């Protein structure tokens, strides 16, 4: 095939070696490089040619040009999520082990949509989700394999419709897990006879935007501002859902003949890491709702990572009463994007909402009911071999290594919190649970100007939210300590940057 | 941080080198290795420990063990989608260039949810989608950038609701594109006042299962068998939607007061590569439906790759009347999974269905309306830097290289088709459009036994479908020629395997 320029093995290895050199240079550069992107809108577009190349006369020099473009066009126009001075949003961790796992998955490049289309992809994933259920101290009801369950009898079965066994899989993002959970609750209620327009879904006013987006996708909200079927329950001073307010909203809806079908609780809100009270929420559901009860999903996307340490597991009290949960190793557990772990106690409700089998996907293993086909647990059909990167991370670091990693960031966040608290210009906001520190200055104008000045300078990157403090919505700065290489010196620099910017602002 | 075992640069490079050696050995093994997995259900689970390791005393020997496990546990239990003797489903192409692109994306590991969270990720993607729109001969209405449009005036604007400009982005899979398109159509109709239970969606009885799944997710079908709101339009002898049947179904629905909101046409069905007649379908929509007209989405997931060659563009006649389309470079264009290209002529309708902006994602660029935030075009919030792998593939191969690649497979499929056609034991089914050859034997029993025997032997891998031939539903074998390294010798072996198995079967 002389006219198809596939890379030869030598060519591939040579370019892979050069790309690894480039990768190390990029990673090394992060210590000095500013965190924030340089160019304004359109600058990358303008630097790229209008048309794809028709042919590449010399592949080696093209690869030289590609790496040069990575340095010249791409890298300067990225937000450097791997920088040790990245403190924005939540982290998005890469690691050497995770990167190698991605490489191995790209080498196999299988589509694990069915067990039959790559048994090892399915079964490694099943095993890893059980590993993680144990590692994060989750209830047995979320385990996939019978031999992993300490006791079938221990499984909590207080709610109807939980006919299926439990289990877990890897989703792309927490948004997808939230959507899958809402669909399971929606269709459990519809199968029990509730018309779609009578359904109601509940979450807190501090829940992630993906909950409203899930309602939009599921046909339960027409646009982001439609509140006819979604109830945003007020939160307390720490950003946690108020169970009394949930009770009132649900009671009103039930009185009006509506059908609660989904409750999304948050273990660590995006704004201020608020933790919803799961036992009280489950009590409200059990006290008020007839069977089938609304599906209780727990979005632990960020804070869930800390459950690997026993000292944080109290945050997950009541998890044994949830129908599903998710947490993201791609945020704060060194597993490159994307990797969201999703567990359910009722796999049948998930597949009832998402499974269909056309003839061209039928196979003996599926027909025999002997295997799990994870396509039936997710939105897309196709699925990549994401389990490999999680496997590599767990094996390279070990659970103790990952616990040290989490504890280091939490200790650094605590030290930053103390320094901010000791400075009269800064006021802490919310309640720090793990490694997110929220603070404000005396006025919203000052806080917003501070965040903008810091990010414009670019030595550190923060993000912001709004949060109700003493009855007033306030602009709040967020510092999430969680980049892979963040050490004490970077958190020191973070405080110095904040200090310097505040001084300039107040001068 | 002595207790956090991050890889040192030397450690990473050493293990990366060894993994590249392993990768080359795996790729080399594919020429000899059987295509199909070896073990039955549970064999991988049984080979893996019950618990994650607490600690890893010696990282180097752990990595030796990891590679050993890849060879011993994982590889033997995969379906080898990269084998040159893989002819199942549709292809799922890897390449050296695509693999390096995945590696580069893993190194940056940015989350490009917003333009602001990595401008280069967004703008490279915007530019590549315009590159590909030109490369695949798509209408100007799907272009993102004004300077890429040859003429704004050329844009087709016959339908209401098409207020926004066009543009494209990368989705994970065609399933997601189909869902996004259906949501845009659903909400365009709801915003015009149609209640959700009055909406109707249309596709053919040969359309991909993801269309019914999208209707399930969107709240338009309760389970896979619910036909109250979805119409599966009958197809002709070649597997193409019958426009007269679409007209009848739509007219009936309109007479009954229902509101058609979505039509999903297929350019290359999964079963037999049927091509729906876009001009006739668009004529039916225009003749029957009031504004806002139903959204016309074209699922060109597989066959769309061939549009890179001018000689196949006649298959896309009428594309200038579609609201959106998708095609998958991760199938048949050497770009490792996942990479689905999605274009729309009405970006405002997409964002109306999917956009919401919580405070913590607000930023100056978004507020100014100066940029595209691709989170508003997709189901999840987070998004990886998939554009890099497509960029690397386009630059390494060039468009001419990719055309040669497609043409080679099509020629190989044609030669196989001729050999099957010349053998009285085999009967061709459907109409070959590019590189999918479908055939059957005299009875369904024989055809099914043939496919099972071939796959059990494992030298080649085929899949199957059911298709109506002369009024009867028949079991049909499918041979999709499209693995990256498939050459004439492999297709020869494919025919010899079929020949031998048929001889054994009929003996």
Are A482 and A452 in a shared domain? yes
Query: With contacts defined as CB-CB under 8 Å, which chain A residues touch B53?
Result: 394-395, 398-399
In this model, does residue A161 exceed pLDDT 60? Answer: no
Give CA–CA dist A412/A487, Å, rounded.
8
In this structure, the answer to whether residues A183 and A329 fall within a common structural domain is yes
pLDDT-based confidence at residue A3 (cuts at 50, 70, 90):
confident
Asked whether residue B402 falls in the same domain as residue B370, the answer is no
pLDDT at A147 (0 to 100): 53
Residue B472 sits in a domain whose CATH number is 3.90.1150.10
3-state secondary structure of B6: coil
How many Cβ pairs within 8 Å bridge chains A and B? 471
Q: Do residues A270 and A436 touch, judged by C-beta distance below 8 A?
A: no
As a whole number of angstroms, the distance between CA B120 and CA A66 comes to: 14
pLDDT digits (tens, 9 = 90+) for B214-241: 999 999 999 999 999 999 999 999 999 9
How far is Cα A412 from Cα A401, in angstroms, rounded to an integer?
A: 17
- Which chain B residues touch A392 with a CB distance below 8 Å? 66
Q: Which tens digits make up the pLDDT trace of A407-443?
A: 999 999 999 999 999 999 999 999 999 999 999 999 9
Tell me the pLDDT tens digit for each residue of A373-399: 999 999 999 999 999 999 999 999 999
Residue A273 lies in a domain: yes
A4–B404 C-beta distance less than 8 A? yes
Q: Which residue in the block uniquely carries the two structure tokens 């006739």?
A: B280
Distance in Å from the first CA to the final CA of chain B: 70
Q: Taking chain A, what is the end-to-end CA distance rounded to the nearest angstrom?
A: 70
Nearest chain A residue (CA) to B18: A100
Question: Domain holding A134: CATH number?
Answer: 3.40.640.10
How many structural domains comprise chain A? Answer: 2
Structure tokens given for B395: 């630059």
Average confidence score pLDDT of chain A: 95
State the pLDDT at residue A145. Answer: 83
Say whether residue A248 is in contact with chain B using an 8 A CB cutoff: no
Asked whether residue B154 falls in the same domain as residue B186, the answer is: yes
How close B166 comes to chain A (CA, Å)? Answer: 17
d(CA A3, CA B153): 39
Instruction: Check whether residue A274 and residue A324 sit in a common domain.
Output: yes
CB atoms within 10 A of CB A31: 12
Q: Which residues of chain B have pLDDT under 70?
A: 1-2, 146-164
> Is residue B87 assigned to a domain?
no
Beta strand segments in B361-401, E: none
Contact yes or no for A111/A382 (Cβ under 8 A)? yes
Q: Contact at 8 Å (CB) between B401 and A56? A: yes
Residue A156 has pLDDT above 70, yes or no: no
Put the strands of the sheet holding B340-344 in their side by side order: B167-171, B340-344, B324-327, B295-299, B259-266, B199-204, B230-233
The rounded radius of gyration (Å) of the Cα atoms in chain B is 24
Domain membership flag for residue B38 = no
Nearest CA among B143, B193, B199 for reference residue B347: B143
What pLDDT is recorded for position A370? 87
Token pair for B347: 């970006």
Residues A255 and A350 in one domain: yes
Beta-sheet strand order (sheet of A463-469): A427-428, A436-440, A472-480, A463-469
Complex ipTM above 0.85? yes
Pair A343, A403 in one domain: no
Q: Which of A384, A409, A443 lies at the terminal end of a domain, its last residue?
A: A384
A303 and A215 in a single domain? The answer is yes
| Partner residue facing B356 (CB), from A89, A109, A213 | A213
pLDDT (tens digit, 9 = 90+) per residue, A211-246?
999 999 999 999 999 999 999 999 999 999 999 999
Q: What average pLDDT does this structure show over A75-79?
A: 98
The pLDDT, as a whole number, for residue B156 is: 32
Q: Tell me, yes or no, whether B455 lies in a domain.
A: yes
Dihedral sign for Cα atoms in the order A406, A408, A411, A415? negative
Distance of CA B203 to the CA centre of its chain: 17
Phi, psi of A211 (to 5 degrees): -70, -45
Q: Residue A353 and residue B224: Cα distance in Å, rounded?
A: 9
Q: And the tokens for A482?
A: 């969680």
Q: Of the residues A350, A384, A418, which one is the last residue of a structural domain?
A: A384
Alpha-helical segments (H) within A256-363: 278-288, 329-332, 347-354
Domain-ending residue, one of A322, A349, A384:
A384
> What's chain A's Rg over C-alpha atoms?
24
CB-based contact B62 A147, cutoff 8 Å = no
Which run of H or of E encompasses A135? helix A119-135
Q: Record the tokens describing residue A371, joined without a space.
A: 């295997």
Same domain, A214 and A250: yes
Residue A151 inside a domain? The answer is yes
Q: Is residue A57 part of a domain?
A: no
CA angle, B135 then B140 then B143, to 5°? 75
Q: Which residues of B touch A365 (CB under 8 A)?
A: 41
Whether A258 and A161 map to the same domain: the answer is yes
In-domain check, residue A131: yes
Share of chain A above pLDDT 90, in %: 94
Please list, in sequence order, all residues whose beta carbon lies within 8 angstroms of the beta carbon of residue A506, skipping any fewer than 6 positions away. Answer: A425, A446
- Residue B80 contacts residue B43 (beta carbons within 8 Å): no
- Reduced to 3 states, what is the DSSP secondary structure of residue B234? coil
Contact present, B91 and B81 (Cβ < 8 Å):
yes
Q: Which residue of A has its CA nearest to B98?
A: A106
Do residue B177 and residue B288 come from a single domain? yes
B92 closest CB neighbour out of A27, A109, A187: A109
**Residue A170 is encoded by which pair of tokens?**
């890897």
pLDDT tier for residue A163 given thresholds of 50, 70 and 90? very low
* A463 lies in the same domain as A325: no
* Contact assessment for residue A271 and residue A429, using Cβ atoms and an 8 Å cutoff: no
Q: Rounded to whole angstroms, how far apart are CA atoms B273 and B279?
A: 18
State which residues form the domain around B439: 392-506
Cα A235 to chain centroid distance, Å, stands at 21
CB-nearest to A119 from B12, B37, B80 is B37
**Concatenated DSSP letters of A366-379:** HHTT-S--GGGGSS
Q: Do B106 and A116 count as a contact with CB atoms less than 8 A apart?
A: no
Let me know if residue B173 belongs to a domain: yes
Residues of chain B numbered 420-459 and touching chain A (CB < 8 Å): none
Helices then strands, each counted (H, E), chain A: 15, 11
DSSP string of B428-496?
A: E-S---SSEEEEE-SSHHHHHHHHHHHHHH-SSB-EEEEEEETTEEEEEEEEE---TT--HHHHHHHHH
């Amino acid at each position: 095939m002389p006219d198809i320029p596939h890379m030869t093995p030598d060519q591939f290895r040579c370019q892979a070696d050069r790309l690894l050199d480039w990768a190390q240079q990029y990673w090394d550069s992060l210590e000095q490089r500013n965190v924030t992107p340089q160019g304004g809108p359109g600058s990358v577009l303008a630097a790229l040619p209008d048309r794809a190349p028709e042919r590449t006369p010399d592949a080696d020099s093209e690869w030289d040009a590609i790496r040069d473009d990575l340095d010249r066009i791409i890298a300067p126009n990225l937000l450097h999520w791997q920088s040790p001075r990245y403190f924005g949003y939540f982290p998005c961790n890469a690691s050497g082990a995770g990167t190698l796992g991605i490489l191995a998955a790209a080498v196999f490049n299988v589509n694990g949509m069915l067990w039959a289309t790559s048994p090892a992809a399915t079964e490694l994933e099943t095993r890893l989700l059980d590993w993680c259920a144990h590692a994060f101290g989750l209830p047995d009801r979320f385990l996939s394999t019978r031999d992993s369950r300490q006791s079938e009898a221990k499984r909590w079965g207080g709610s109807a419709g939980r006919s299926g066994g439990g289990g877990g899989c890897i989703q792309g993002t927490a948004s997808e897990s939230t959507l899958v959970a809402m669909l399971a609750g929606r269709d459990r209620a519809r199968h029990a006879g509730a018309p779609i327009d009578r359904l109601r879904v509940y979450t807190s006013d501090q829940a992630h935007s993906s909950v409203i987006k899930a309602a939009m996708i599921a046909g339960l909200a027409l646009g982001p501002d439609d509140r006819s079927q979604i109830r945003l329950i007020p939160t307390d001073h720490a950003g946690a859902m108020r169970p009394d307010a949930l009770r009132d909203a649900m009671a009103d809806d039930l009185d009006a003949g509506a059908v609660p079908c989904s409750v999304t609780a948050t273990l660590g809100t995006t704004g201020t890491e608020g933790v919803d009270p799961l036992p009280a929420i489950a009590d409200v559901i059990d006290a008020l709702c007839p069977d089938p009860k609304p599906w209780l999903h727990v979005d632990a996307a960020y804070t869930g990572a800390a459950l690997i340490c026993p000292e944080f597991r109290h945050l997950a009290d009541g998890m044994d009463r949830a129908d599903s949960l998710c947490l993201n190793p791609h945020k704060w557990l060194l597993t490159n994007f994307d990797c969201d772990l999703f567990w359910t106690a009722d796999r049948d409700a998930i597949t009832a909402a998402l499974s269909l089998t056309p003839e061209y996907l039928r196979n003996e293993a599926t027909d025999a009911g002997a295997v799990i086909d994870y396509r039936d647990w997710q939105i897309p059909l196709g699925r990549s071999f994401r389990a490999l990167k999680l496997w590599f991370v767990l094996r390279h670091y070990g659970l103790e290594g990952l616990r040290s990693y989490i504890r280091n960031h939490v200790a650094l966040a605590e030290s930053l919190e103390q320094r901010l608290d000791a400075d009269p210009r800064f006021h802490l906001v919310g309640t720090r649970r793990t490694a997110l520190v929220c603070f404000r200055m005396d006025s919203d104008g000052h806080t917003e100007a501070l965040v903008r000045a810091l990010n414009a300078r670019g030595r550190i990157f923060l993000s912001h939210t709004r949060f109700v403090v003493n009855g007033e919505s306030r602009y709040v700065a967020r510092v999430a300590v969680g980049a892979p290489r963040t050490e004490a010196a970077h958190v020191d620099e973070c405080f110095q940057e904040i200090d310097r910017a505040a001084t300039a602002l107040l001068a």
